[in-house]
Structure 1
Amino acid sequence: MSEREAPDALLLMAPGCAHCPVVLHNLSQLLKQGRIGRLEAVNIMQHPAVAQSVGTRTVPWTRIGCFELEGALSLGELERWIDLTGRDEGEASYLIHLFETQRAHAAVTWLQRNPDAMPELLGLLRSPTTPIVVRIGIGVVAEDLQGTPLWQSTLTDLLKLAESPDATLRADAAHYLGLTLSSDAIEPLRGMLDDDNPDVREIANESLELLNGGNS
């Protein structure tokens, strides 16, 4: 098996930032070790457009591969994100990180730039061990992406979730199917009106009302 290519890193920093030199030092060490392929450090006071282009006012701000990270990062934390680049579990771990740090809207922006990670988002929804804070974050993402092609791309996975033996997951599926605003969700939701669980039936009816413009 060929060795994975080392990811590139971008660091945004500013004068007076106490943590920026530490992160720069750690990244420089990783560059010397060959753990990252290229390191670019930008003083955002001199180049504010760079911070604007990535949508942040926070320093230090670090991007490793596709992962965008805020605040002070230890050498171990940087090594962890390097190890997770290019792996499906890395995308899931990054989404969990965003939700646990109350950055659900940042997850929306990140998913729009990385649409191939949508199956990992749905995988978190399916997992019975996913923490409640992550489930809440997924709900924020779904609401923000309501009716967009990106959320509609989850339709196949949501239909599978609608067949789960777990009533909670079926209820989730009923809600999120409605948020696709897709006509392809209407018949599956009508079928869920006969579900054994009353919560599933109620949510399916609400989603049908949404799809039918208020008329179930």
Structure 2
Amino acid sequence: MSTESTRNPDAFVLISPHCPHCAQVLLGLEELVKEGALSRLEIVNIAADPGPAAERGVRSVPWTQIGPFVLEGSHSPAELRHWAERANDPNGMAWYIDEQLKTGKLPRVEAMIREDPSRLDAIPQLAGDPDTAMQTRVGIAALLESLEGSGMAKRLSKEFIKLTSHPDTRVRADACHFLALTEDKSGLASLEACLDDGDATVREIAAESIEHLRQFTAQRSKQPDQNS
């Protein structure tokens, strides 16, 4: 295993001279660097260099990024340590997406997925956990809907197919819905099998998902003719 794959995360923080919370965040990050929990810290004073804030669409500080995780506003040293530790954890991205979706930060999640579609791989873990909050489940659906037409979610179809056989009813129902949003017609067989599910809600969502996926497939099949 390479050294780069196991190194602790870098951090980036935007501050300003008159920010009341920047000093606390900065001290917390510097302490993590001293301990080795962070490999490197880049600090930008937006009063002296507003460019990085403008590039990221940042309107208030402190604004912190630890590895792939963006943290807005004031965060305690313990919170900063929490995300530094999770940056290299296999479950870290799932935890982060869960927290963001539960707090209504879908645009941030969508932006980070479009930046790196492999981050979508955390979604089946959340979808397959019966304890995942309803807000997160609704957020996953909204995320996948926002990605329709991009082909990004197709990478998730195999995992969602597995979840259509999950023991939990809600997980199966959501898996049917999410599977239709992957744009992958290979999921049709699993959706058709769910038409015989013992739960009426699963059967209903499976039927709706089949119709959605068939309509999408039909639209895609017409595109070459329209361009010819």
Q: What TM-score results when the alignment is normalised by the length of structure 1? A: 0.89
Structure 1 counterpart of 2:146, one-letter code: D
Equivalent in the alignment of 2:104 = 102
Look up the SS of the partner of 2:215 in the other structure.
coil
Q: Say how many residue pairs are matched.
A: 216
Alignment partners' CA distance in 1, 2:125 and 2:138: 15
- Mapped partners of 1:186, 1:147: distance in 2: 18
Deviation for aligned residue 1:2 = 10
| Structure 1 residues 64 and 183, CA gap change in structure 2 (3 angstroms) | same
Name the SS for the 2:196 alignment partner.
coil
How far 1:28 moved relative to its partner? 2.0
Matched, 1:190 2:165: no
For the 8 Å contact 2:185–2:214, the answer to whether it is kept is no
Residue 58 (structure 1) aligns with: 60
Please tell me whether the aligned partners of residues 15 and 44 of structure 2 are also in contact (alpha carbons under 8 angstroms). Answer: yes
The 1:152–1:112 alpha-carbon spacing in structure 2 relative to 1, beyond 3 Å, is same
Where does residue 150 of structure 1 map in the other structure? Answer: 152
* Matching residue's letter, 2:56: V
Q: Identity rate of aligned residues, in percent?
A: 37
How far off is 1:193 after superposition? Answer: 2.0
Consecutive unaligned residues of structure 1, counting only runs of 5 or more, are none
In the alignment, which residue of structure 2 is the partner of 1:28?
Answer: 30
| Residue in structure 2 matched with residue 113 of structure 1 by the alignment | 115
Alpha-carbon contact 2:12-2:41 (below 8 Å) kept: yes
**Which secondary structure state, in structure 2, belongs to the residue aligned with residue 10 of structure 1?**
strand
* CA distance, structure 1, for counterparts of residue 213 and residue 122 of structure 2: 26
For the 8 Å contact 1:147–1:180, the answer to whether it is kept is no
Following superposition, the deviation at residue 179 of structure 1 comes to 1.1
Listed as ranges, the matches of 1:5-16 within 5 Å are: 5-16=7-18
Q: CA deviation at 1:39?
A: 1.2
State which of 176, 179, 184 in structure 2 corresponds to 1:177: 179
Alignment check: 8 A CA contact 1:105 1:140 kept? no
- Give the equivalent residue in structure 2 for 1:127: 129
Cα RMSD (Å): 2.5
Note closer, same or farther for the CA distance 1:155–1:2 as it changes in structure 2 (3 Å cut): closer
Q: Could you tell me how far apart the structure 2 residues matched to 1:60 and 1:93 are?
A: 22
Which stretch of structure 1 is more off in the superposition, 57-66 or 151-160?
A: 57-66
Pair 83,197 (structure 1): closer, same or farther in 2 beyond 3 Å: same
Query: What SS class does the counterpart of residue 127 from structure 1 fall into?
Result: coil
- Residue pair 2:160, 2:175 contacting (<8 A) in 1 also: yes
Which structure 2 residue ranges, 5 or more long, are not aligned?
Answer: 219-228
Q: Which amino acid aligns with 2:164?
A: A
Q: Is the 8 A contact 1:148 1:180 kept in 2?
A: no
CA distance in 2, matches of 1:132, 1:210: 22
**Corresponding residue SS for 1:50:** helix
Give the structure 1 partner of residue 142 of structure 2.
Answer: 140
Instruction: Work out whether residues 130 and 168 of structure 2, in 8 Å CA contact, stay in contact via their aligned partners in 1.
Output: no
Quote the Cα distance in structure 2 between the aligned partners of 1:121 and 1:171: 15
The residue that corresponds to 2:222 in the other structure is: none
Q: What residue is the counterpart of 1:46 in the other structure?
A: 48
Match of 2:87 in 1: 85
